[in-house]
Structure 1
Amino acid sequence: MIFMVIMIILVIVLLSFSFKVVPQNYVGLVETLGKYSKSVNAGLTFIIPVFQNIRKVSLALQPYKISKYSIITKDNAEITTSLTLNYQVTDAYRYFYNNTNSVESMVQLIRGHMRDIIGRMELNEALGSTSKINNELFKAIGDLTDIYGITVIRVNVDELLPSPEIQKAMDKQLTADREKTAAIAKAEGEARHIELTTKAKNDALVATAKANAEAVKTQADAEAYRINKLQESLNKAGDGYFRNQSLDSFNKLAEGPNNLVILDKEDMTDLGKIPAVKKMWNADKK
């Protein structure tokens, strides 16, 4: 009776170890006496206790961070980089049996290609080409990780940092460039100010000259108009007007202290046109 009870307990224990549950998104690797025998999908699986064992491998997307490490650029500058990536196990057999540490092997592969890519770039190019490096790195590793049963879904360069010495030199250069830019901007501003001031003065001088010229022209036009009108009036005036003007002139001349007038013969003859002077001329002849 006791033997039967012991046998029942052993059977129950063996049955409890005979059924294994493979979780969702996992694959089970069944080993018989330490040797791979088959793969099983998620769900309830029966194995032979003691003789068989099951290893569970996740097929879910896995994030991984590659810690900082140094790389030398084409122009012998040292930079430190770190990466993050997402990978997925696509072949559980290769992942588990073909390599003692498939993830570490994948990381070493990525680091090697990263060194090769950045090693062909100069410092400034590398620092400004993060997206380009990401694309080249993803293409470079391609299907190479298949040997480890892994597929890299995404890889991203988190940072590219120059060494402290280079950073100091770059900061100094940046400061110098900013000061140079500020000096150039200030000089250009002053030159522009002088240019505008000079233009304003020249415009004022031109405007003044134009105004003066316009005033002179207006004055000349007025004078010409006055002379034309006067000439028209004189042309319309009769001989009596000119005789009266001559008499007035001689009267004013006679009233002055200097009443001696010298005239040529023709002018003397013209004086005869004035009646009063003609009488004086005839009386003198008698």
Structure 2
Amino acid sequence: MLMRILLIVLVILVLVLLALSFHIVPQNYEGLVETLGKYSRTVKAGFVMIFPGVQRIRKVSLALQPLEISKYRIITKDNAEITTSLTLNYLVTDSYKYFYNNTDSVESMVQLIRGHLRDIIGRMELNEALGSTSQINAQLAEAIGDLTDIYGIRVVRVNVDELLPSPEIQKAMDKQLTADREKTAAIARAEGEARNIELTTKAKNDALVATAKANAEAIKTQADADAYRIKKLQESLDSAGEGYFRNQSLDSFNQLAQGPNNLIVVDKDEISNLGKIPAAKKIWDQSKKED
């Protein structure tokens, strides 16, 4: 009876030991087998058999993992303080290095990235850094390169999410931005007023030129009309006979005799020319009526 009990206990112990001996390493994991606390081998995903109590297995994920690096402060080349935060994706490329070469490989990787980012931004002035996020990302990715390989880690992507100046600098930048906008608006208003004055002056000048041209045309037209009348007058006088001018001269003397001033001294050769005066007047008045 006692032997049977011992046999049953022995079978149970064997079954328990067998159960403890078999482990499953999930997909995209590796297992690090330790014997008496010392690394012995690396196993892939699947069933793994170890000696319980003597060996243990540590499972390391090989999948891509995201990581957010909390905000921290950096001083730029022109002594401005900015706050930055990063996100990255990494994966374990060597489970042995990842687990045994460092007590915390992820934290070591984060410190390495922070150090390189401080160095990159520290060589830039504030305005340059704020406008060069993509350039900073490229420089940071190139700087870390394969350096994280010593931790058994490869950084697939690293991205600077934000670069924020200190509150004091932000206030100063807001004031500067407001001043720049007001300056731009003032320049735009001044240019608009100058353009308006220019257009108004041009319109006035064009009006003056047009008026001057119109006056000149009117004067020219009047001069042409007067010249035409004088020409016609001369032609009429030239075509009139001497008898006509004598009659006009007699009429002129009669009118002078009837007026208050009836004394006139004229050369005898020019007496006949007096008749041309009323004749010319009649012809002139007639030409103006025709116009």
Q: Please tell me the TM-score bracket, short chain as reference.
A: 0.7 to 0.9
Give ranges in structure 2 of 5+ residues lacking alignment: 275-291
* Equivalent residue pairs, number: 271
Determine if the alignment matches structure 1 residue 111 to structure 2 residue 114. Answer: yes
User: Which residue in 2 is equivalent to 1:94?
Assistant: 97
Could you list the per-position Cα deviations for residues 206-234 of structure 1 after superposition, in whole angstroms to 9, with x for gaps in the alignment?
A: 22222222221222222223333333444
Structure 2 SS opposite 1:74: coil
Counterpart code for 1:134 = N
Could you list the per-position Cα deviations for residues 154-199 of structure 1 after superposition, in whole angstroms to 9, with x for gaps in the alignment?
A: 1111111222222222233333333333333333333333333333
Question: How far apart, in 2, do the equivalents of 1:171 and 1:48 lie?
Answer: 68
TM superposition shift of 1:126: 1.3
User: Which residue in 2 is equivalent to 1:153?
Assistant: 156
Structure 2 SS opposite 1:178: helix
Counterpart code for 2:94 = D
Counterpart code for 1:33 = L
Stretch of structure 1 that moved more, 105-114 or 13-22: 13-22
Contact 2:245 2:272 in 1 (8 A): no
The structure-2 alpha-carbon separation of the partners of 1:103 and 1:6, relative to structure 1 and needing over 3 Å to count, comes to: same
User: Which residue in 2 is equivalent to 1:224?
Assistant: 227
Question: How far apart, in 1, do the equivalents of 2:92 and 2:194 lie?
Answer: 67
- Could you tell me the TM-score, scaled by structure 2's length? 0.83
1:19 pairs with one of 17, 22, 29: 22
TM superposition shift of 1:246: 4.1
Determine if the alignment matches structure 1 residue 165 to structure 2 residue 168. Answer: yes
Counterpart code for 1:120 = R
Give ranges in structure 1 of 5+ residues lacking alignment: 272-286
TM superposition shift of 1:139: 0.8
Structure 1 SS opposite 2:23: strand
Counterpart code for 2:178 = T
% identical equivalent positions: 79
Stretch of structure 1 that moved more, 212-221 or 104-113: 212-221
Contact 2:249 2:272 in 1 (8 A): no
1:142 pairs with one of 123, 141, 145: 145
- Could you tell me the TM-score, scaled by structure 1's length? 0.84
Contact 2:95 2:152 in 1 (8 A): yes
User: Which residue in 2 is equivalent to 1:182?
Assistant: 185
TM superposition shift of 1:12: 2.1
Question: How far apart, in 1, do the equivalents of 2:93 and 2:87 lie?
Answer: 19
Structure 2 SS opposite 1:83: strand
User: Which residue in 1 is equivalent to 2:32?
Assistant: 29
Question: How far apart, in 1, do the equivalents of 2:243 and 2:11 lie?
Answer: 170
Counterpart code for 1:175 = T
TM superposition shift of 1:245: 4.4
Structure 1 SS opposite 2:210: helix
User: Which residue in 2 is equivalent to 1:200?
Assistant: 203
TM superposition shift of 1:254: 4.4
Could you list the per-position Cα deviations for residues 30-54 of structure 1 after superposition, in whole angstroms to 9, with x for gaps in the alignment?
A: 2222222222222222222222222
- What RMSD, in angstroms, separates the aligned Cα atoms of the two structures? 2.3
User: Which residue in 2 is equivalent to 1:59?
Assistant: 62
Question: How far apart, in 2, do the equivalents of 1:265 and 1:250 lie?
Answer: 14
Structure 2 SS opposite 1:228: helix
Contact 2:32 2:96 in 1 (8 A): yes
Structure 2 SS opposite 1:261: coil
Contact 2:249 2:271 in 1 (8 A): no
Contact 2:249 2:273 in 1 (8 A): no
Could you list the per-position Cα deviations for residues 217-267 of structure 1 after superposition, in whole angstroms to 9, with x for gaps in the alignment?
A: 222222223333333444444555545544544454444344443222432
Question: How far apart, in 2, do the equivalents of 1:233 and 1:32 lie?
Answer: 147
Stretch of structure 1 that moved more, 190-199 or 28-37: 190-199
